[in-house]
Structures are given as C-alpha cells and as structure tokens.
C-alpha cells in the first residue's frame, strides 16, 4: 500500500470506459471507508459514481468484485521499489511509506476496512492477499539488488526481508493497536537488516 | 492469546456469581465466533447463557463490556512465560503457542473477530490492546531473564523482542492472509534472536 494515490479515481486518463472505472473505484473506496465492506452495496456505489446500476453489476458483479478491482488499482498505482544503492535506505523508504499509508486517513481506513472484511469474507481475503503479494514481490527487488551487490548474504529470502520490515508496523496497527510512527518504522528496518546480515533470512 | 483455554466458561470454579460470569463469557465467545462483534447482542448472550437479561445489562452494560471482560478472562487464563533456561527455547514456546492459538478454530476466530471489531470500534480496540500488552509484558520476563544470564545484550528492549516474535505471525494471519505454520513460527524466533544478539533491540 506504499505511496498509492489517495484517490483511485483521479489518476488514469483514458476513454469513457476508463472514466467509468475511475468513478466506480473512487466511489467504492469512499463507501468502504464510510461503511466498511459489509456496508458496501452495488446500488450505493453506482449512485455515488453517477453510473448506471446495470453497468456496475455487469462489469463488477458483486461488492467483492469491486474491492478486488480497487485493490488491483491501488497496487497498479503504487510506486516501484526504491533503488538508492543502499539497502538500508531502500528499506527505510519502504517502511516510511507503509507508515505514511497506514496513518493516511483515507488509505489507512481503506486497508483497515479490507483487513476487517478479510477476517470473514473469502473474496476480500483473496483481494487483500493478492495486493500484498504484489507489493512484497515488487520490493523484494531491492533486496535482490543488495544481495547482488554483496551487501546481504547470498541465499537471503528477499520477500521474507520485506515481510519482516512491514510486519511490526501492521502488528501494531491492527493487533496491539499501538501507534505506528517513523521511529517504529526505523526500528523495524534496523532489526530486519540486523537479522538479514546475520544470515537469518537464508532458508 | 497463548494457551488460553478454548472455553472461557469451564475453568473458574466458584459461587453463583462466578458461574454466571463463566456462562456469560462462554456465550459471548460463542456469539462472537458465530456473528462477529457487530452481531453481538446482550439479549442473545443472555439467552444463550441462560441468564437473565437484567443481570447481563447490569453487570456488563454493553457488548463492549462483554468483550472487554472476555479478553480479561482470556488473558487471566493464559500461561505464564516459559522459563526453560534458554531464550531460544522460551521464544519457541511462545511462537508455537501463538501459532497454535491462531489456528485453533474457536480461539483463532475469537481473535479475528476482535481484530475486525477493533478496526472500527474504540472499546473493542481498547480491549484488544489491553490483552496483548498483558501478554507481551508477561513474556518479556523471559527476555529479561536471558539478559540477566548474559545470553542477550544488556539494554535489550524485552517487550520489543516479544512483539518481534509475534508480528510476522499476525501479519500473515490478518494482513497478507498467508498460512501461519510451525516453520513460520521457528523462522520468526530465529530472526528475532539474530537481531537481538546483534543489539538491534537496544533503543
């Protein structure tokens, strides 16, 4: 969810189809933030987007279809991994972006709503999992470059390093409900790096 | 949530007051698992527990009061920290207990319901935070003993080591929706330990 645009509806230019999709995804995110996944209805999204109900039903099928497409769009909009030449700096960019995203009113609420929905809805869980796997895979590239440079040990599991940077932040956000601050982000980077340098991410 | 009994209602002996509380908390957990926090009603809990509604309203006040007391009870029932003489073994006991708890049908569902509720309800969030802080503080004792033995560096933040062991497990459980296995638990222990030995938990 790093650096995803706050507004799913304001980015992609294109023709009518793209404009309809942008409006529908924007409305989906608004409804998700305000009412949660279980309060998300096709009719309300259609009304809010100013799009015909039949179009929304035909193209997205269900509320799960809407949030799946929203998560795809948020992943599409997310930044590629950093490549500063230093794994410490790259991971810091990642951790601070997660920190900023989860503290962002709209984006943070979107992800909390999806996390809540995923606890009891299979399709919401699938959409959430797909989003994070894409983001983890993207950022694993930074770790792979560090291994190639010889900055981290050969055989380091790159995706696991990225998961390790994010995990303490999300753990505080949704489990222990403690603040997620830039200091927390920095500590997470330092601990993941210390473990990686010690070879603890070699399977 | 480590090693908490699966049944909040079967543990505490005592008089009528204790029996009523046990029945009400058992019913609260059942309802939470089946209907989630937002489907939890005082009347249903009273009916399920076979206890008068007025008693439930008078003693617990609200659904939030019920889950707060349930979380207190689950924390009370949880095991004290391990003390095997080895921090690696102690952390393994902790990580495997978390792994088992989140994979337990009833207990896992209870926590997922609470995590979902906490995303949009302040009192549920407070109950969840209080539960985890108690568990983290309890297990921090194992890390403090390791520091006293000289097995981990002086100044190590004991609570942070415990958070670091749990975080990757919960991250997979509720964020990336990936399986939480004993292998995942073991890797989490090894990485937290590697970082702790490298001094990364010294503030």
This prediction has a pTM of 0.91
Q: In angstroms, rounded to a whole number, what is the distance separating the alpha carbons of residues A102 and A114?
A: 12
ipTM of this predicted complex?
A: 0.90
In terms of CATH, what superfamily is A15-74? Homeodomain-like (1.10.10.60)
Work out the pLDDT band at B12, boundaries 50, 70, 90: low
Helices B16-35 and B42-49: angle between axes, nearest 10 degrees: 120
Q: What angle do CA A177, B87, B85 make, to 5 degrees?
A: 135
Q: In angstroms, rounded to a whole number, what is the distance separating the alpha carbons of residues A81 and A145?
A: 11
Q: Which residues 133-152 of chain A have a CB within 8 Å of chain B? A: 133, 136
Instruction: Dig out the tokens for A83 from the structure.
Output: 């490549």
Question: Best residue in B137, B178, B200 to probe A by mutation, most A CBs within 10 Å?
Answer: B200
* Closest chain B CA to residue A173: B119
- Give the class (CATH, top level) of A80-197: mainly alpha
Q: Does A201 touch chain B (CB under 8 A)?
A: yes
Q: Does A47 touch chain B (CB under 8 A)?
A: no
- Count, in order, helices (H) and strands (E) of chain A: 9, 0
- Binary contact (A198, B199; C-beta < 8 A): no
Q: Are B98 and B169 in contact (CB under 8 A)?
A: yes
pLDDT, residue B20, reads: 96
Angstroms from A191 CA to nearest CA on chain B: 5
Q: In angstroms, rounded to a whole number, what is the distance separating the alpha carbons of residues A67 and A123?
A: 9
Q: Does B190 touch chain A (CB under 8 A)?
A: yes
Question: How far does Cα A28 stand from its chain's mean position?
Answer: 16
Angstroms from B166 CA to nearest CA on chain A: 8
Closest by Cβ to A170, choosing from B113, B129, B171: B171
Q: In chain A, which segments carry CATH 1.10.357.10?
A: 80-197
Q: Does A115 touch chain B (CB under 8 A)?
A: yes
Q: In angstroms, rounded to a whole number, what is the distance separating the alpha carbons of residues A155 and B133?
A: 36
Three-state secondary-structure class, residue B52: coil
pLDDT surpassing 70 at residue A4: no
- Binary contact (A116, B113; C-beta < 8 A): no
Angstroms from B53 CA to nearest CA on chain A: 29
Q: For residue range A67-85, what is the model confidence (pLDDT) as tens digits?
A: 999 999 999 999 999 999 9
Task: Enumerate residues 6+ apart whose C-beta is below 8 A from B73.
Answer: B8, B25
Q: Lowest mean pLDDT: which of A172-181, A189-198, B29-38?
A: B29-38
Q: In chain B, which segments carry CATH 1.10.10.60?
A: 15-74
Question: Best residue in A35, A175, A197 to probe B by mutation, most B CBs within 10 Å?
Answer: A175
- Binary contact (A175, B176; C-beta < 8 A): no
Q: For residue range A30-60, what is the model confidence (pLDDT) as tens digits?
A: 999 999 888 899 999 999 999 999 999 999 9
Q: For residue range A180-202, what is the model confidence (pLDDT) as tens digits?
A: 999 999 999 999 999 999 999 99
DSSP classification of residue B82: P
Q: In angstroms, rounded to a whole number, what is the distance separating the alpha carbons of residues B195 and B93?
A: 19
Report the percentage of chain B scoring pLDDT > 70. Answer: 94
Closest by Cβ to A177, choosing from B120, B125, B199: B125
Q: For residue range B60-84, what is the model confidence (pLDDT) as tens digits?
A: 999 999 999 999 999 999 999 999 9
pLDDT, residue B34, reads: 94
């Amino acid at each position: 969810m790093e650096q995803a645009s706050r507004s799913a509806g304001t980015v992609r230019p294109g023709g009518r189809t793209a404009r309809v999709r942008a409006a529908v995804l924007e409305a989906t995110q608004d409804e998700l933030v305000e009412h949660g996944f279980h309060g998300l209805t096709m009719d309300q999204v259609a009304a809010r987007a100013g799009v015909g109900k039949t179009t929304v039903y035909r193209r997205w099928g269900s509320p799960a279809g809407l949030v799946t497409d929203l998560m795809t769009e948020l992943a599409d909009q997310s930044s590629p991994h950093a490549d500063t030449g230093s794994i410490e700096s790259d991971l810091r960019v990642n951790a601070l972006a997660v920190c900023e995203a989860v503290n962002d009113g709209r984006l943070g609420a979107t992800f909390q709503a999806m996390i809540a929905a995923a606890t009891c809805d299979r399709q919401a869980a699938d959409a959430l999992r797909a989003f994070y796997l894409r983001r983890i895979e993207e950022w694993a590239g930074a770790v792979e470059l560090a291994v190639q440079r010889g900055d981290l040990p050969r055989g380091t599991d790159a995706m696991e390093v990225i998961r390790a940077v994010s995990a303490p932040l999300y753990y505080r956000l949704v489990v222990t409900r403690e603040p997620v601050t830039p200091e927390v982000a920095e500590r997470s980077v330092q601990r993941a790096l210390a473990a990686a340098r010690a070879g603890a991410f070699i399977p």
